[in-house]
Amino acid sequence: MDAFSRNKYLTVAIGHAPASIMKELLQWVRRYKAKFGFEFITSTETWFLQKILDEVKERYENTLVIELDIAAWEEFKLIEHGLERLWERLSRSNIQKASKEPGEVVPDSMEEEDVVSSDGSHE
């Protein structure tokens, strides 16, 4: 199922799909690759197999130039999503590391003459 190599979860979703949708989707993906020379790329969520099937049928009618533009945009969205997920993981990891490190103790920098009592007079 390398046609959907960009979305590793699609193979799992297809495994649970009705046989008729799975068979038709595989046929259209093969036709797409034969026509355009590259794998079908989509950023559509994997559980929307009927939507993916409709999308590959619709995009099959495109010219090569139009499809290259769409495929490049889909690839961009997948890369962008992957980078967002990576950033979130790295941010969470850094926050967890920072919360585990002991805080730095800073000596009091205020002089006694700078302290004002609650009644407004210097102590």
The answer as to whether 104 is a domain residue is: no
The answer as to whether 35 is a domain residue is: yes
pLDDT tens digits in sequence order for the chain, 123 residues long: 344 445 544 555 666 778 888 889 889 989 999 999 998 888 877 678 889 899 999 999 999 999 999 999 988 988 998 899 899 888 887 776 666 656 555 555 555 565 555 565 555
Q: How many independent structural domains does the chain possess?
A: 1
The answer as to whether 95 is a domain residue is: no
| Domain residue limits at 11 | 2-88
Q: How far apart are CA 70 and CA 57, in angstroms?
A: 14
pTM here?
Answer: 0.59
The answer as to whether 16 is a domain residue is: yes
The answer as to whether 78 is a domain residue is: yes
The answer as to whether 98 is a domain residue is: no
